[in-house]
Each structure stands twice: as C-alpha cells, then as structure tokens.
Amino acid sequence: MTQEGSLPRSGRTEAVGGTAEQASGTVHPGPSRPGADELVQLIDHHGVRHPHGHYDGLVADVDGPALQKLYEDMVVVRRIDAEATALQRQGELALWPPLLGQEAAQIGSGRALRSDDFVFSSYRENAVAYCRGVDLADILRVWRGNASSGWDPYTINMATPQVIIGAQTLHATGYAMGIINDGADAVAVAYFGDGATSQGDVNEAMVFAASYQAPVVFFCQNNHWAISEPVGLQAHVPIARRAPGFGIPSVRVDGNDVLACLAVTREALARARSGGGPTFIEAVTYRMGPHTTADDPTRYRDANELEDWAARDPLARLATLLDSLGLLEADYTDSVKAKADAVAAELRQGCLSMPEPAPSDVFKHVYSTPNSWLDRQQDHYERYLASFSQAPQEGSR
C-alpha cells in the first residue's frame, strides 16, 4: 500500500484554526506532501453535512438513529467529565484531567473499535473507556487515590491509563506484534497527545510498527496544548506529516467531527485487520478546559483562542445537524438528558461508596509470589500499627 493511497483524494478541505503552523508562528519548509495536510471533515462546524467521495462509503450505515446514538454518547461523556470535575472541586477526587472539547475524537474513534481490539491510552481517554464499557466508578478509582488502577485491562480490552507520556505507544505496537504471531485480526490502538509525539518512545513505536507492519493504529489527539506548551513547540509542520517518514500512512481529521473520526478510524482498522499495517491518525481538536484540575490555563492561553474553538464545539455542530434532519425532538433530547443524569448519579454514587483501602494493601501485588523481604517489612509494620492499641500510654507519646 502506498502512502498516497491512504490519503483522501477528494472531498472537503478546511483549514481549522490553530494548526501547527499557526501555533508556532512559522512554517518550516518541510517535505511537502500534497494532501497530507488536508483535513477530513464530514460535518462542518455549522452543522452542515458535506459529501465526501471517499469517506462517505465508510459511514454509509450511519443513519439517523446511529447519529443520534453518537450524539447521546457525547452528551453523556461530557456529563461524566463535568460530574468528575465537580467531584474534584468538592474534594472527593485528588485530581481530574478533563476531556472537554475532545468528545468527538474519542467517541468517533472509540465507537469504531471491535470488542477484541485492544486500547492503550493516556490519562484523558475517559470517553474511550466509556465506549469500552467500563464500570463507571472504575474511571475514578485512581483519581480518588484509592487504587493504582481502575480496572482489569482484560475485562474491557483496554490497558489502564498511562501517565508516562508516550510509553503506551510502544505497548500497543508490541501487542499488535503479538496479534500477528497469533494470526488474529484484532487491532491495537494507541491514544496519545500532540506533546507525546516529541518523546523517543513514540518515534520508536513508529519504527517498530513500520518494520513489522504491525496492526496498530496511532491515534494522536492534537488538542493544541501540552500543559502550557503550544503544539508548535512539538512540531513545526502538521503532526500527520511525521508518520510517512517512518513508512506509515497518515491522515488528518477534524477531531471535532464525530462522523469523520469514525470514518478515518474505521479505515485504519480495516487496513490493519487486512494485513496493511499501521496507520497514524492526527485528530485536530482542542482542549477546552484546563490540563488537569490543578492547572491554570489563563497563564498561558489566549481567551480569544478558546472562543474560536468554542465555535467549533463537537456537540453543538452535531445537534445542529440532527435538528436540521428533524432528529432533535423534545422526547429524544429528554431521553438523552435522562441518560446523562442517570450516568452522572451512578458515577457520583460509585465514587462516594468506594471502600477505603486497608493499610496492608500497600504490600499487595508487589510480586506475584510471596517474598521474605517484603513479608518481614509487612510483619514489622503490622506490629508497629498494633503497638498503638496495645502500648500503655507513657511519656508524651
């Protein structure tokens, strides 16, 4: 398969505000690949559906009810995000990384996956976890400080979130190499940010993926910021241009267009399943909230930029489209709201009713079999804790 073959030959191209060039202020005379910078878009930010010669075929099955379902997903995950942010503000979570603004990228790609595909994500992909069918409270376990991981990766075929930037791209590639050995047709999907593309791990993952033609999809959410650093500091040309240098076809998609994200991800998955190797997707989106609840974006980000992107909101544009199709009637929106309310209530309840861990839990799972070093430390610590209830009160302590 040639690289060009993966690129949209026709269809709508729109310069979305804040591309890599704009963020960096300079355009580097990088290798010019006509088409590589084209942005796949099926629903524009006014909610207008545009036909696309290539990608329409990939979403031909998405009828009215299916579009409504995608909308419901996005409303629900936005609500999960808001509820978790509120829980953090109320002191119930130590920290929370909001995905506000990235719903379309995550739902569009997440809903393209098959249950036997395996996801390796960073910390912000809570909407992807939702698509995988995560138990809601499990999303919060880590952020509440109650556990090192929220779920058993094999129950939802999604690794637990990665904090070390970019490390998961190698894991996804290795998993995909295992899929080849097993003769299976599942796909590994790596989610990461624009900042992550600077890490050696991500670049090494692309080397391995290309060398072994591994069935892996690199899904980069270019949300324009890595904490305070604009994407222009990580890449002087559109990020999608990087992968072809490794021999990996790439595509740029409007990350705020759920239908386009679904389409490009389906294409990448199909290529991987049929032995066509890896694909790199750059979903151009925007982080509307802070990096985490501990961050203050007003120190580094222009309010106008936020306003520009608010006008490209992924939910609003789909609502407009649904409305124009007569699919946004009150009984439908009421049912979506009821679903979001129920999910939020379940999330809150799950958070507040999480059992407190026991002190001896710190010694669990360090090794898979007992170990005399650690047994001794645990024994001594338990005796130490017991000494508080047994010791006669003496002296000042």
Partner 1 sequence: MTTMTFGRAITAGLRRAMDDDPRVILMGEDIGKLGGVFRITDGLQKDFGPHRVLDSPLAEAGIMGTAVGMAYRGYRPVVEIQFDGFIYPAFDQIVCQVAKLHYRTQGAVKMPITIRVPFGGGIGSPEHHSESPEAYFTHTSGLRVVSVSNPQDAYTMIQQAIACDDPVLYFEPKRRYHVKGEVDEAADPASSDLGAARVVTAGSDVTLVTYGPLVSTARDAAIAASDDGISIEVIDLRSLAPIDFATVEASVRKTGRLVITHEAAQSGGLGAEIAASITERCFDYLEHAPVRVTGFDIPYPYSKLEFHHLPDLDRILDGVDRVMRRPNSLSGLDGAPTSEGAAL
Of 18-26, 160-168, 237-245, 345-353: span binding partner 1 (CB under 8 A):
160-168
Q: Nearest distance from residue 379's CB to partner 1, in Å?
A: 8
What are the φ and ψ backbone dihedral angles of 333, each rounded to 5 degrees?
-65, -35
Q: Nearest distance from residue 20's CB to partner 1, in Å?
A: 13
From candidates 179, 226, 269, 347, binder to ligand TPP by CB under 6 A: 226
Catalytic residue among 224, 241, 271, 291: 291
d(CA 98, CA 290): 7
Query: Is residue 158 near partner 1 by the rule CB under 8 A?
Result: no
> Tokens 């995000």 sit at which residue?
81
Contact 197, 235 (CB under 8 A): yes
Q: Please give the angle made by the CA atoms of 327, 329 and 335, to the nearest 5 degrees.
A: 100
d(CA 134, CA 152): 10
Active-site residue, 287 included? yes
d(CA 151, CA 336): 27
Q: Nearest distance from residue 254's CB to partner 1, in Å?
A: 24
From candidates 93, 170, 196, 262, binder to ligand TPP by CB under 6 A: 196
d(CA 160, CA 152): 8
- Residues of this chain, 241-300, that bind partner 1 according to CB under 8 A: 294, 299-300
From candidates 1, 27, 163, 184, binder to ligand TPP by CB under 6 A: 163
Active-site residue, 111 included? no
d(CA 119, CA 359): 32
Specify the residue, 208 or 225, whose C-beta has the smaller distance to ligand TPP: 225
| Helix pair angle (103-110, 258-273), 10° resolution | 40
H helix runs in the chain, sequence order? 20-24, 64-89, 103-110, 126-132, 136-144, 153-156, 167-182, 200-212, 242-245, 258-273, 303-310, 314-324, 330-352, 372-390
d(CA 167, CA 191): 11
| CB-count exposure of residue 185 (10 Å: 0-12, 13-18, 19+) | middle
Of 104-112, 224-232, 273-281, 325-333: span binding ligand TPP (CB under 6 A):
224-232
Query: Is residue 175 near partner 1 by the rule CB under 8 A?
Result: no
- Residues of this chain, 330-369, that bind ligand TPP according to CB under 6 A: none
From candidates 96, 175, 225, 309, binder to ligand TPP by CB under 6 A: 225
Q: Nearest distance from residue 201's CB to ligand TPP, in Å?
A: 8
From candidates 146, 169, 223, 285, binder to partner 1 by CB under 8 A: 146
145 binds, options ligand TPP, partner 1, none, Cβ within 5 to 8 A by partner type: partner 1
User: What distances in angstroms separate CA 77 from CA 74, 123, 275, 380, one per listed residue?
Assistant: 5, 15, 33, 45
Q: By CB under 6 A, name the binding residues for ligand TPP.
A: 124, 163-165, 192-196, 223, 225-227, 287, 291
Active site residues: 287, 291, 300
Q: By CB under 8 A, name the binding residues for partner 1.
A: 94-95, 123, 142-148, 163-165, 195-196, 198-201, 226-229, 233-234, 294, 299-300, 356-357, 359, 361-363, 366, 373-374, 377-378, 380-381, 383-384, 386-388, 390-392, 395-397
